């Protein structure tokens, strides 16, 4: 079994805890489904949020999905002028037999503009 990394992102419409929970859960669910993964395949997840998001920790959404024994960490994204606002990004380390080229990186909604080269 190889260690792989899966990327993803989602843009929020507003900075509200319930909305963040909903959007981050949708992102994590899509990452798991599109890659045929379960929580047992997860090694760790790194979340970043743009500096304009203050309402909650993105990792709380993972815990709400039942991802309870996986190390999670949250950090603030760089504050770059002109960057897309209200974005939560994910870098998940997984165990998978899939070749690197078959890993589905998930960029939902407007966040697909961030990585047109790998967005599924």
Multiple choice CATH, 2-115, 3.30.1330.40, 3.40.50.20, 3.40.190.10, 1.20.1730.10 = 3.30.1330.40
Determine the length of the chain.
120
Mean pLDDT (whole number) for 96-119? 88
Model confidence pLDDT, tens digit, residues 5-22:
999 999 999 999 999 999
Give the start-to-end residue ranges of the domains of the chain. 2-115
Mean pLDDT across 53-81 = 97
Query: What mean pLDDT, rounded, does the chain reach?
Result: 95
Q: How confident is the model at residue 117 (pLDDT cuts 50, 70, 90)?
A: confident
CA contacts within 13 A on the Cβ side of 73: 8
């Amino acid at each position: 079994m190889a260690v792989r990394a899966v990327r993803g992102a989602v843009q929020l419409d507003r900075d509200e805890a319930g909305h963040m929970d909903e959007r981050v859960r949708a992102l994590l669910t899509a990452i798991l489904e599109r890659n045929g993964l379960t929580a047992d395949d997860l090694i760790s997840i790194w979340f970043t949020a743009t500096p304009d998001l203050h309402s909650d920790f993105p990792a709380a959404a993972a815990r709400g999905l039942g991802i309870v024994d996986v190390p999670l960490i949250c950090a603030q994204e760089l504050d770059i002028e002109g960057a897309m606002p209200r974005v939560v990004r994910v870098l998940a380390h997984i165990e998978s037999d899939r070749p690197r080229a078959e890993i589905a990186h998930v960029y939902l909604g407007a966040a697909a503009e961030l990585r047109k080269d790998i967005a599924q």
